[in-house]
Amino acid sequence: MMENIENKYLSLGEMFCGPGGLALGAINAESQNIQNNKIIKISHKWANDIDFDSCETYKHNICKNPTANSVIYSDVRDLDIETLPAVDIFAYGFPCNDFSLIGKQKGFDGEFGPLYLYGLKVLDRLKPKAFIAENVGGIASSNEGLAFKKILMDLSLAGNGYNLTVHLYKSEEYGISQTRHRYIIVGIDKTLGLEFKVPAPTHKNNYIPVKEILENLPNSLLNNEATKMSNIVVERLSYIKPGQNVWNAELPERLKLNVKGAKLSQIYKRLHPDCPSYTITGSGGGGTHGYHYKELRALTNRERARIQSFPDSYFFYGSKESVRKQIGMAVPPKLSEIIFSSLLNTFNQVSYRSIRANYTITSEQLTLI
């Protein structure tokens, strides 16, 4: 039994916090060093988002306080960064709309691409020990790769300078039943002389089938309302087998979609019970809700939340469509916990299984990109 345990908390500030997927993983993370009896954890300090419902969800679940003033409901462009309290760790999943592979990749030419610059302002002013930034896999190819290169260069030169570990994480390899691929950028203040290593996958080639996540789900769970569907959609789904979509199923002519141009693979795609889910998205029109492998219906928000690895006790505030958006835009908390635990282990000098990163970048070696 450990005696004289030293508990240390590192504070977390977050921009574009959404409903708290990153934060939940962070506050659940910990590192224990049995050599020096030190346990390091993370505590919430402040967070910001432009979406009111997301802020309310964050307050309810992360702060456990519906009136918490540490969650700032504001457009980041109106946020007074000069008044933000200092934090040890800064996190931000800056908006990915303009970098996503789904839709038009506008990169810095879009409305949302330049918003990552506000995170740079936080790094320059507060100079946290570390930061974690998240974005979609498509960011690497946006603007012919120039957008990603500029973002990495800017991040490495912010604050006191940061050593970056950049990796494309595949959620299904970390115990999440979803093929969600995201770049995670971990930066550590170069003056600390520490190196973050990518945690080794826990479920590589041993993926969790979605039926393990969705079987026997009680109807009484929070945020579990069914989506109303027309008779023609139900009939269309009856012709689509698990794992198929509207394009590769054998449909009668009257049930086919008359679409020209790009045909997104997720349209009316049913899950396959023995595979991880495809990527859960936050918005979209008909045919993009995600569809059950056994029943002829769209997934409920609670099923989407389970696929994202949120616990059933996690309550999402707002309308059904608002909740769907929050869930689809979030970082899977289970993946977040693994990454934050590895970061804490780095600070606590605790070794862990790791793999080679896609990129390691320092402010002195930008040519590695």
Segment 9-20, tens digit of pLDDT? 999 999 999 999
CA-CA distance, 130 to 72, in Å (whole number)? Answer: 21
Per-residue pLDDT at 139 exceeds 90: no
Beta bridge partners of 90: 13, 131
Question: 283, 303 in Cβ contact below 8 A?
Answer: no
Question: 182, 134 in Cβ contact below 8 A?
Answer: yes
pLDDT of residue 286: 79
Mean pLDDT in residue range 338-349: 98
Beta bridge partners of 178: 277
Cα 172 to the chain's mean position, in Å? 13
pLDDT in tens, 1-40: 445 778 899 999 999 999 999 999 999 999 999 888 899 9
Mean pLDDT (the chain, rounded): 90
pLDDT of residue 283: 79
Nearest to 53 by CA among 280, 321, 286, 303: 321
pLDDT of residue 110: 47
Per-residue pLDDT at 262 exceeds 80: no
pLDDT of residue 369: 42
pLDDT of residue 364: 66
Cα 316 to the chain's mean position, in Å? 16
CA-CA distance, 135 to 25, in Å (whole number)? Answer: 16
pLDDT of residue 138: 73
Three-state DSSP at 200 gives coil
CA-CA distance, 131 to 121, in Å (whole number)? Answer: 13
CA-CA distance, 133 to 94, in Å (whole number)? Answer: 7
Per-residue pLDDT at 184 exceeds 60: yes
The answer to whether residue 96 is catalytic is yes
Q: Is 73 left (phi over 0), alpha (psi -120 to 50) or beta?
A: beta
CA-CA distance, 50 to 62, in Å (whole number)? Answer: 17
Q: Which two tokens stand for residue 350?
A: 């605790």
Least confident of 136-140, 178-182, 229-233, 296-300: 136-140
Instruction: State the number of CA atoms in the 13 A half-sphere of 183 facing the CB.
Output: 26
Taking CA atoms, 244 is separated from 39, 85, 129, 179, 237, in Å, by: 47, 50, 46, 16, 10
Q: Is 112 exposed, middle or buried (0-12, 13-18, 19+ CB in 10 A)?
A: middle
CA-CA distance, 127 to 67, in Å (whole number)? Answer: 28
Q: Which entry of 17, 55, 63, 96 is annotated as an active-site residue? A: 96
Mean pLDDT in residue range 227-238: 96
Least confident of 178-192, 252-266, 283-297: 252-266
Predicted confidence band of residue 97 (pLDDT cuts 50, 70, 90):
very low
Three-state DSSP at 351 gives coil
Domain boundaries, the chain: 6-204+331-368
Per-residue pLDDT at 96 exceeds 70: no
Mean pLDDT in residue range 272-278: 98
pTM of the entire predicted model: 0.92
Give the start-end residues of each E strand in the chain: 6-15, 30-33, 38-49, 71-73, 89-92, 130-136, 162-170, 181-189, 198-199, 354-355, 359-361
Nearest to 161 by CA among 192, 116, 198: 192
Question: 201, 355 in Cβ contact below 8 A?
Answer: yes
Predicted confidence band of residue 100 (pLDDT cuts 50, 70, 90):
very low
Helix ranges (H only) for the chain are 21-28, 52-58, 116-126, 146-157, 210-214, 231-239, 301-307, 320-329, 333-347
The domain defined by 6-204+331-368 folds into Rossmann fold (3.40.50)
Beta bridge partners of 38: 6, 33
pLDDT in tens, 304-331: 999 999 999 999 999 999 999 999 999 9
Strands 89-92 and 38-49: unpaired
Using a pLDDT cut of 90, give the percent of the chain over it.
76
pLDDT in tens, 54-90: 999 999 999 999 999 999 999 999 999 999 999 999 9
pLDDT in tens, 186-198: 999 999 999 999 9
Per-residue pLDDT at 53 exceeds 90: yes
pLDDT of residue 253: 95
Taking CA atoms, 350 is separated from 11, 89, 272, 346, in Å, by: 20, 18, 39, 6
